[in-house]
Structure 1
């Protein structure tokens, strides 16, 4: 075949940002035209499979439909089509860029050579870039042209690092996910909403909405922090703010050497000089610390090692010890070279978040430390000589299990004194397993927004579930972070159903958000006009901290083009599936495909929720077993066999019998209201029953439902 015909064209790319017809998670759905490659499965292209495996040997881990390691490679050798290969290569490039593997599908469409390729989208930009790299790589492998795999992976890794949540925030979001608490990213950084509507909490890495601005300001003022701690009986190193080199030495003499010189405000260990004993050292350290532009403090040197203790919600949850970085002379190498080969060669050191230890630099602090020992970076120490390069830093050696109980209580008190719900307490002691007071240890700093990586990926010791601790702090064991979400869809006028449900819930003293074709409403007040039965409007309701119940109308088109704005719902209402509904623009043309579209809503019903289904529609009845929660039927014909069978199993149904609306639960029945008692409504009876069934599933009182029906008019939301 002529190589110029080897191409894959992307006809359409849709970002499905929530549960969809493919999976519960966000995906990219790509329509791919492979053209003449339809006649060229992988086993017909000489050398292609071997080149692809050589470039991406980790494809051996893809099990594919065969279900075992190496399954995808077997498919390649047996012959598979480029769209299927595109799916796997895209996922693998994402994986090599630092994202976990994920869901993928490749399915033929009605047009010859055109496929739907679906891949898990951890971040739309990263997945899109992976898709384009995958296409170029596959075509290069087919044509035996060069492709720089390493450069592509580096490009994707850089993009992922700039787009994805940081590891600290990710640990919290993952812990929330383990609790089935939903999350919404609020900006391009690490500001995240956990939960929906009025049940939400917000985090910004290790700060929460409970983190006081006053407390954070106090923590940045070292002198004020120390004074507050001292006044409450917490041991701190005595010290003074100073404004000149001479004043720094005068303070050192007053305190008594050795001393520490450091900037007044939080600086993550920068320009901190310890164990200073001479005027020259103190004045030199002052000049460097002054460059941080926050003032300089001189305080008593506390012998021992630096420790970081993490307090969350008044409890110590993790502790790490710092390292004293040193090298050993060999009689031949400069200290600078020894730092390179003895310290920075450690694979645990690096500049990325995957490295628990930072590279050691001979900066101003290290230069001063060397000078105190009689060396420079270019010195060649004698063999066997130990030279200290850095006395503080790289607090990444887990010691949580040996912290003395009195120390745990002390740091919890320190966080409370400053006012922080999450605090990183810097403590200097010789032995963390002994009480602080008996070894003249001291708390030297209290930090807001502490880093979590040292506890998640310590250089040594056990990782600590600090993300889980933060989630437990924000959400007690019985809190789900969820508000009731009622999703309404189907073939008939779902807008009327959604409006009725919102009206009834509003009467129940719940602040209701409604997104429907008539607009977006919050507690009857219209906040947006036009058709708002879409992802964006639903998303806004879930962001709104005043919304206690959300009623969201969606259609087949929105499901296919956007996905759902929520991960799970309390109630899914389906009025029916129209066999004539035109979804051809999304390649949905059969009853089976329409069924798969609308079943999405039933699939996401919570175990304590309900699917409200039209018993007169056989396709909806067939969804009964897909629901994790209860199924509640509605029907204008009380004699339908499915109603009888459902009630025989103690199921609930809303039906009409002798012009009366009946709430049936097993064999028991409650007469709700006569149709003749209702005001004129612009909706069919089965739509009215759907709204009533949803209200019943939400637990609304029968008298309230009855009164709400009599008060409902067409101009209400």
Structure 2
């Protein structure tokens, strides 16, 4: 079949809540051209080719709501844009970035569809979209396509661009608690929460992790000295700068000894159980090469290496290490034995997802040295039944959290506190982690800042531990969400002035407030930027500002369609009207129902304890009340409006105008009145604007008397107010 290619007319990353969903998506406008006349069931062999390329499509639910739903649609006949949606989702999943949300809708232009799909990283999502288009066309036209290579390229992008597994785990734990997050860099620096309620993490470091504590942890000799002075058992040791000094120190300390780089980490350059001068001098050279400086010689403690993860004041996970051995068969060299007996373990690999590392006896310096101590090389052929030690340390990935004796946990938490780390990986050598420390020759050998979490999240053996939850509880306690009150104002009627007025009322109440609107960017009563600050990037400045206690945003329908809202949830959402459709024609918004779905986005994101402020004089705005998870405050020019009267009858809040006054009513009781005559004429002429702002301030808990005073003092003229 001859067809023109699927064309991507427009691709937009919607970074916040949007018309499709609450989370970031990529929206693509897809022109399928002549394929509009060829649904999937009319293309010979297409079903078989596509499912052979991507067998995982079998679990996609689609509109049927059960696994296999998409394949059912594919057999019955569906169109190329819808197929592309599912292919892109599957490609992202195969690349290691789990996603599941997607929707495709026709536009008023024949053959042109709007398709949206969830993505956790924009560049990966865009690459998956391009790859998906090529794959679908290859399946349609019965052309060869190397989907494995394509998935590998996407997987590389995921590895390089997405959050690392440890950071992602913490972020997921925050999301489960309702704590929002913002990625501040292309790396793993993440803000949890907003404004003054925020905290920051960088993998296993937090904004409570002291730079001084990190320096202490990196100075192993100082760490050991501090621990020893506080009664934490540590091996006797000495810092040396030459192989001769290492041998002399070993004799003073007493054989056997261990050598490690002064500035090393992750077990690199560590040699254990050294008993003679030759091995000690060779181990010194290895440690110096790996660390680039001084070397520590210390007493060797017999036992298994253990890593205890301390968060705050408690041990939240523990893992044990195991030595790695091979057994000779009389024919194979050590490289071959390691590949067959060790590296075939599915838990081993070279990526971050593997709890155990694959071993390369011919390349790993520590393994080469260990083999030399046994008189072997990587190419030696051990005799039948001969056991060869490949790795003494490392492999600390066998969960023993439930076995940790309280005295061992107490030593680990004390060690973390002595160094000053709020999150620490404390390494101990122990014979048995379940026995009291006093009954065995155990010792703390290192305290590590920014510890790796993967061994506890994906252990080689045992139960994964909820590290993210522990870190979130450490940062936020058990009930805080890191949120500050966020107010969003949407519509076409005086939304800029409403946003500024709400900001002013919050300001005079004594709270630190920021406003992002078309008039600019405000902190308190001061305009700090006169440029339009409604775009997503400009508005985000409010959420990252650590001094702000409240943030106010003006949001247009155009912004919702082109970028999404700049926040995930809000405390107060104001909707003035459903209008301005003529300005949105380029987005295929050609019917009031479509415009309604754009504007309702503001209401969809209101928190359960939040409030929607709705114009009771606009029937479409009134309809949005049923969409709100929180409370409703209606406002309007007449108390007899049906929405206001019914709302008051239920005991709820409403604002209306009567006898030249704005009345704030709670049910049938009038909580306060504000005389329009006390306002300056320019403001008094716009009671709807005033009521919307007053209702938002009231929803934020500001006293009506203070609101009235603030209305009289507010100046929309920047020169007068500044």
Secondary structure in 1 matching 2:670: strand
**1:106 deviation in Å?**
0.9
Map 1:134-283; keep pairs closer than 5 Å.
134-283=132-281
Partner residue in 2 for 1:53: 51
Relative to 1, partners in 2 of residues 1:671 and 1:376: Cα closer, same or farther, differing over 3 Å?
A: closer
- Matched residues in 1 for 2:649 and 2:68: separation? 50
**1:218 deviation in Å?**
0.3
- Matched residues in 2 for 1:74 and 1:263: separation? 60
Partner residue in 1 for 2:380: 379
- Matched residues in 2 for 1:41 and 1:337: separation? 53
Partner residue in 2 for 1:693: 695
- Matched residues in 1 for 2:60 and 2:682: separation? 57
- Matched residues in 1 for 2:154 and 2:561: separation? 28
Contact preservation (8 Å) 2:514, 2:542: yes
Partner residue in 2 for 1:22: 20
**1:476 deviation in Å?**
1.0
Partner residue in 1 for 2:331: 332
Deviations 1:500-553 (A, max 9, x none): 100000001111110011001112222222211221222111011111100000
Matched, 1:122 2:120: yes
- Matched residues in 1 for 2:581 and 2:128: separation? 38
Contact preservation (8 Å) 1:679, 1:712: no
Contact preservation (8 Å) 2:64, 2:70: yes
Range 369-378 or range 429-438, more displaced: 369-378
- Matched residues in 1 for 2:136 and 2:302: separation? 60
Gaps of 5+ in 1: none
Partner residue in 1 for 2:91: 93
- Matched residues in 2 for 1:431 and 1:650: separation? 65
Partner residue in 1 for 2:577: 576
Contact preservation (8 Å) 1:660, 1:671: no
Partner residue in 2 for 1:463: 464
- Matched residues in 2 for 1:114 and 1:19: separation? 24
Partner residue in 1 for 2:390: 389
Contact preservation (8 Å) 1:28, 1:120: yes
Partner residue in 2 for 1:501: 502
Partner residue in 2 for 1:72: 70
Deviations 1:277-301 (A, max 9, x none): 0011111111111112131110000
- Matched residues in 2 for 1:705 and 1:266: separation? 61
Contact preservation (8 Å) 2:581, 2:592: no
Cα-Cα RMSD = 1.1
- Matched residues in 2 for 1:486 and 1:684: separation? 21
Deviations 1:63-105 (A, max 9, x none): 1112222111111111111011111111111111112132111
- Matched residues in 2 for 1:599 and 1:581: separation? 18
Secondary structure in 1 matching 2:307: strand
**1:305 deviation in Å?**
0.5
Partner residue in 1 for 2:633: 632
Partner residue in 1 for 2:555: 554
Partner residue in 2 for 1:317: 316
**1:318 deviation in Å?**
0.3
- Matched residues in 1 for 2:97 and 2:108: separation? 33
Relative to 1, partners in 2 of residues 1:265 and 1:47: Cα closer, same or farther, differing over 3 Å?
A: same
Contact preservation (8 Å) 2:506, 2:513: yes
Range 263-272 or range 193-202, more displaced: 263-272
- Matched residues in 2 for 1:196 and 1:70: separation? 41
Gaps of 5+ in 2: none
- Matched residues in 2 for 1:342 and 1:407: separation? 33
- Matched residues in 2 for 1:427 and 1:198: separation? 38
**1:306 deviation in Å?**
0.3
**1:491 deviation in Å?**
2.0
**1:478 deviation in Å?**
2.4
Secondary structure in 2 matching 1:389: strand
Secondary structure in 1 matching 2:426: strand
Range 481-490 or range 336-345, more displaced: 336-345
Range 411-420 or range 291-300, more displaced: 291-300
Partner residue in 2 for 1:298: 297
Deviations 1:386-412 (A, max 9, x none): 211110001100000000001111110
**TM-score, length basis structure 2:** 0.98
**1:581 deviation in Å?**
4.4
- Matched residues in 2 for 1:376 and 1:129: separation? 45
**1:693 deviation in Å?**
0.3
Deviations 1:592-639 (A, max 9, x none): 111101110100000110000000010011111110100100111111
Partner residue in 1 for 2:712: 710
Deviations 1:286-326 (A, max 9, x none): 11111121311100000000000000011100000011011
- Matched residues in 2 for 1:164 and 1:231: separation? 43
Secondary structure in 2 matching 1:249: helix
Contact preservation (8 Å) 2:99, 2:119: no
Q: How many residues align?
A: 715
Contact preservation (8 Å) 2:431, 2:441: no
- Matched residues in 2 for 1:526 and 1:641: separation? 40
Relative to 1, partners in 2 of residues 1:50 and 1:207: Cα closer, same or farther, differing over 3 Å?
A: same
- Matched residues in 1 for 2:300 and 2:344: separation? 31
**1:580 deviation in Å?**
5.2
Range 555-564 or range 678-687, more displaced: 678-687
Secondary structure in 2 matching 1:368: helix
- Matched residues in 2 for 1:521 and 1:345: separation? 60
Contact preservation (8 Å) 1:21, 1:597: yes
Map 1:461-610; keep pairs closer than 5 Å.
461-578=462-579, 581-610=582-611
**TM-score, length basis structure 1:** 0.98
Contact preservation (8 Å) 2:236, 2:253: yes
